[in-house]
């Protein structure tokens, strides 16, 4: 029952997020606004909703499964991808690794500078 209540809650927040984004004409997606609203609710409540915890843990424990259908869409673009494969592969691999390395360096540097008390990197 907790799972069902939790799922219902997540869907309600998503729905409110979608409606909010439409009404306010924001360029962020509805689920992102829904997440912010649920986060604010938990902050104001000063406590976790057990049902939300159960549903969230269930969904997030296999988050990567949810990307499979979009990934299979690759088959539609085989020709597109084959034509420019070198540029795509290099841009994807190098771009991702560089982004991750730079983000890590900036986060490490800024943490040392601004939050040294919580930083523990040895």
Partner 1 sequence: MADGDLTNLWVYLSASPLVGLTITLIAYSLGYRLYLYANRNPLLNPVVTAITVLIAFLQISGVSYATYFEGAQFVHFLLGPATVALAVPLYQQCAKIRKRLLPLVITLVVGAIVGAGSSVGIAWMLGASLEMQMSLAPKSVTTPVAMGISEQIGGLPSLTAVLVVATGIIGAVTGTTLFRLMRIKDDAVKGVAMGIAAHGIGTARAFQENKEMGAFSGLAMALSAFTSAVMLPWLLHVAGVL
* Residues in 21-80 that interact with partner 1 by CB under 8 A: 27-32, 34-36, 38-39, 42-43, 48, 52-53, 55-57, 59-77, 80
Residues in the chain: 122
Site for partner 1 in 88-107 (CB under 8 A): 88, 90-107
Contacts of 53 (CB under 8 A, 6+ apart): 6
Of 23 and 76, which CB lies nearer to partner 1 in the complex structure? Answer: 76
Of the pair 5, 88, the CB lying nearest partner 1 is at 88
Place of tokens 């730079």: 102
Q: How many residues bind partner 1 (CB under 8 A)?
A: 80
Please state the closest distance from residue 5 (CB atom) to partner 1, in A.
13
Please provide the DSSP assignment of 9-76 as one string.
HHHHHHHHHHHHHHHHT-SS-HHHHHHHHHHHHHHHHTS--HHHHHHHHHHHHTGGGGGHHHHHGGGG
| Residue 4 sits in the site that holds partner 1 (CB under 8 A) | no
Of the two residues 1 and 114, which places its CB atom closer to partner 1 in the complex? 114
């Amino acid at each position: 029952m907790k799972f069902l209540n939790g799922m219902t809650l997540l869907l309600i927040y998503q729905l409110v997020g979608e409606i909010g984004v439409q009404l306010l004409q924001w360029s962020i997606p509805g689920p992102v606004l829904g997440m912010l609203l649920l986060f604010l609710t938990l902050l104001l409540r000063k406590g976790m909703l057990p049902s939300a915890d159960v549903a969230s843990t269930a969904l997030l424990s296999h988050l990567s499964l949810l990307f499979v259908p979009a990934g299979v869409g690759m088959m539609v673009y085989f020709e597109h991808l084959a034509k420019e494969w070198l540029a795509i592969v290099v841009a994807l691999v190098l771009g991702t690794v560089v982004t991750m390395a730079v983000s890590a360096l900036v986060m490490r540097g800024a943490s040392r500078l601004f939050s040294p008390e919580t930083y523990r990197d040895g």
